[in-house]
Structure 1
């Protein structure tokens, strides 16, 4: 089945923003399901959904100028980390040296997740009882 990549990228970005605004992660299968199952499970599912995540990150960074890897919110259900393509993209963008060290990958994921959640989670309203300055 052929897909319009630009539509999938835009739709995928909205899904990732929604999850990031709630401080949530999702699996690659969840992303595929939320997008209406554009990729069949099996075969090269990982390659296709991983490339989509990379394309979403690149498009988002290009459009906003932010050096965020928004696809950090998409995780492998078994490892709890993004797939290898995420780390390869990070290396190609100069954001992380390519490594097999799981601790380095986890630290990078935690840092990116913190930054993404900080950008997309709504600011909490003040409960101090004081009106905001105008």
Structure 2
């Protein structure tokens, strides 16, 4: 029986990548910062994702869904496009699917960032 994979990566590597992404994003949250899709790809060594790929979108959706279930936040809100400074369209579609009101995209995104910062305060 063939090994199960996610976008060509073993489930073990995919899970390790999500853990790396979560740790990286929590670090950014504690610094009160954001990151780009490219920076996140560089920070995740367990798998090699490309920015703006379907694999990246699925990866971030899983990170968001898991953090939403655990903490009521969309942790991938911290991942932004270099050219616009906000997340891409897929982020907002996924947020709407989670029941978030995304009519005013920028206002929604900024409020989600503040919610993340509240969950992960700076370390002293």
TM bucket (normalised to shorter chain) is: 0.7 to 0.9
Q: CA RMSD of the aligned region, Å?
A: 1.9
> Which segments of 5 or more consecutive residues in structure 1 lack a partner in the other structure?
125-134
Q: 5 Å matches for 1:1-134?
A: 2-3=9-10, 4-36=13-45, 38-40=48-50, 45-62=52-69, 64=70, 66-97=71-102, 99=103, 104-122=104-122
Quick check: which has more Rg, 1 or 2? 1
Q: SS at the partner of 1:81?
A: coil
TM-score by length of 1: 0.76
Question: Over residues 25-72 of structure 1, what are the superposed CA-to-partner deviations in whole Å (9 max), with x where a residue is unaligned?
Answer: 00000000011361246xxx432222211111111222x2x2211111
Q: SS at the partner of 2:73?
A: coil
> Which segments of 5 or more consecutive residues in structure 2 lack a partner in the other structure?
1-7
Distance in structure 2 (CA, Å) of the matches to 1:26 and 1:46:
17
TM-score by length of 2: 0.81
Number of corresponding residues? 114
